[in-house]
A and B are shown apart, each in its own frame.
Chain A
């Protein structure tokens, strides 16, 4: 193993890119490991290709996408070393990192580690969600940003949240036919009390309202308070069924895009493991971090949505804060400079986060567990149904690690990413216990694909 890196950053979304630029600017030796082939993360995915080859797409990709370009360019202009197509499959408490690139695995050491692995869409099972023709809204947006792909036929959007409306507007801009938006219970009244705080983010609200206006003006059918969403088809999606106002309706469609908000991607922090806490408002697990992103583990920090959902701008702020803490810890700035710059960054971050409680209340995470039919698959990999989890609970299982060993839910290639929350929710519902008590899977490395041969040849 060679000389330790000053700061190893995992992920090149807004938090990772902003952190890298700041830390490298203060003279740290920074390496950014990114499993993707180009920087941007999910939100600014493909920004370099879009700016170079498909600049016209910026019109419908929107202002927030455009805003990311500044962060991205600063990152590219910095001295931080960028390692694309490189996955991190292990982080140990002593800050050794297992990476894999082009079929070769090796270990590196870092004085500080910043985990900026962002968010993923909340997996919310519905009957038939494994059928070809059912995808997530985020997936569809990725196809649009990264490859300029849009659906051929009419598309149904199901769920709720800012990303769903953003994609709808982007699709309208690109001339795609939206058969319907099936909205699952947004709660404007519950969100009202948070409006005052959100006022600091008027840009947020204006943007949201403009999106909704654009969608309505285009004549898209929006059906509110939908429940019982179901994907129907034999081998592929043929139709979408839903319940609304006591009746069951059906729309023929080859493509259904689902979205129920985003959650922190905690696979890496769980695997170390760092300490986590259950966040009731966002209904997911977050690593326990201080205002600089530091976890309970010496020299290991988390920034961005991976530490709690706050959006791209807040993520960039937090990335800078964590980078600043690393710069300070490695003696590149004085205590005074640290306090001064830190104060400004904290203020900026608070401003960016101001709209979040409003959004959390407006689009509450669905309470799926009780309504989940016994035959609905919760674990896509091992094809384990909600009923099988319930039977394991009836046998005496009180946590997801017991149900995992009894049902194989969580043992497949996704390593529990897609079923972890749902399985725990089903257990919590059955036992009438809080999620914090039910707990989560014990996540085992390697958390990214690694072959036996790669590990055998570990450098």
Chain B
């Protein structure tokens, strides 16, 4: 969906859903998703619809992902670190009525 304007000097590698991805140091996790070819970050708890980053400034809370086992992190507010494991989040198991 998005491409990079530059070849960056300093890069690092993370995984998104266990797929390795190399990107510039200083990128946010949301930027990594945008550049990954699949912007989707999670399914909503209410309808199970796909969501992707929307505002990239920390106000919409749409870009929630699991980072290193911690669920519901704002991808646009977290800077990538080497070896970071990012996972798209499934719809949470609903409470039985």
* Pairwise interchain contact B61-A413, C-beta atoms closer than 8 A: yes
Complex CA gap A54/B27 in Å reads 14
Q: Which residues of A contact B26 (CB under 8 A)?
A: 37, 49, 146-147
* Pairwise interchain contact B57-A152, C-beta atoms closer than 8 A: no
Q: Mark A144-158, 1 if CB is under 8 A from B, else 0.
A: 001111111100000
Among B3, B27, B31, B47, which residue has its beta carbon within 8 angstroms of that of A152? B3
Among the 9-residue stretches A62-70, A75-83, A376-384, the one with 4 or more Cβ atoms under 8 Å from chain B is: A376-384
* Pairwise interchain contact B31-A254, C-beta atoms closer than 8 A: no
Complex CA gap A413/B47 in Å reads 15
Is A143 interfacial (CB-CB < 8 Å)? yes
Q: Mark A100-132, 1 if CB is under 8 A from B, else 0.
A: 000000000000000000001101000000111
Q: Mark A42-63, 1 if CB is under 8 A from B, else 0.
A: 1000000100011001000000
- A43 shortest CB reach to chain B, Å: 11
Q: Which residues of A contact B3 (CB under 8 A)?
A: 149-152
* Pairwise interchain contact A143-B56, C-beta atoms closer than 8 A: yes
Q: Which residues of A contact B51 (CB under 8 A)?
A: 130, 132
Among B2, B8, B9, B44, which residue has its beta carbon within 8 angstroms of that of A143? B2
List the count of A-B residue pairs having beta carbons below 8 Å apart: 123
* Pairwise interchain contact A148-B4, C-beta atoms closer than 8 A: yes
* Pairwise interchain contact A413-B64, C-beta atoms closer than 8 A: yes
* Pairwise interchain contact B34-A449, C-beta atoms closer than 8 A: no
Q: Which range contains the number of A residues in contact with the other chain? A: 35 or more
Is B77 interfacial (CB-CB < 8 Å)? yes
Among B24, B35, B62, B74, which residue has its beta carbon within 8 angstroms of that of A449? B74
* Pairwise interchain contact B2-A149, C-beta atoms closer than 8 A: yes
Q: Which range contains the number of B residues in contact with the other chain? A: 35 or more
Among A35, A120, A148, which residue has its beta carbon within 8 angstroms of that of B77? A35
Knowing A53-B9, A54-B6, A132-B50 are in contact, say whether A149-B55 is a contact too (CB < 8 A): no
* Pairwise interchain contact A418-B9, C-beta atoms closer than 8 A: no
- B39 shortest CB reach to chain A, Å: 5
Among A37, A123, A139, A380, which residue has its beta carbon within 8 angstroms of that of B57? A139
Is B14 interfacial (CB-CB < 8 Å)? no
The listed residue with most B CB atoms (<10 A of its CB), out of A49, A123, A132, is A132
* Pairwise interchain contact B56-A383, C-beta atoms closer than 8 A: no
- A285 shortest CB reach to chain B, Å: 15
Residue of A nearest to B62 (CB): A380
Is A414 interfacial (CB-CB < 8 Å)? yes
Interface residues of B in 55-76 (CB under 8 A from A): 55-62, 64, 72, 74, 76
* Pairwise interchain contact B44-A121, C-beta atoms closer than 8 A: no
Complex CA gap A314/B36 in Å reads 38
Q: Which residues of B contact A147 (CB under 8 A)?
A: 4, 24, 26-28, 31, 34-35
Q: Which residues of B contact A143 (CB under 8 A)?
A: 2, 31, 34, 56
Is A333 interfacial (CB-CB < 8 Å)? no
The 4 closest A-B pairs by CB, nearest first: A132-B52, A139-B56, A413-B61, A147-B31
Task: Spell out B's residues near A (CB within 8 Å).
Answer: 1-6, 8-9, 24, 26-28, 31, 34-35, 39-40, 44, 46-47, 49-62, 64, 72, 74, 76-77, 79
A sample of 15 cross-chain residue pairs with beta-carbon separation below 8 angstroms, ordered by A number, consists of A36-B77, A49-B26, A121-B55, A130-B62, A138-B57, A147-B24, A149-B5, A149-B31, A152-B2, A235-B50, A265-B59, A382-B46, A383-B46, A449-B72, A449-B74
Task: Spell out A's residues near B (CB within 8 Å).
Answer: 35-37, 42, 49, 53-54, 57, 85, 120-121, 123, 130-136, 138-139, 142-143, 146-153, 174, 235-236, 254-255, 265, 380-383, 412-414, 417-418, 449
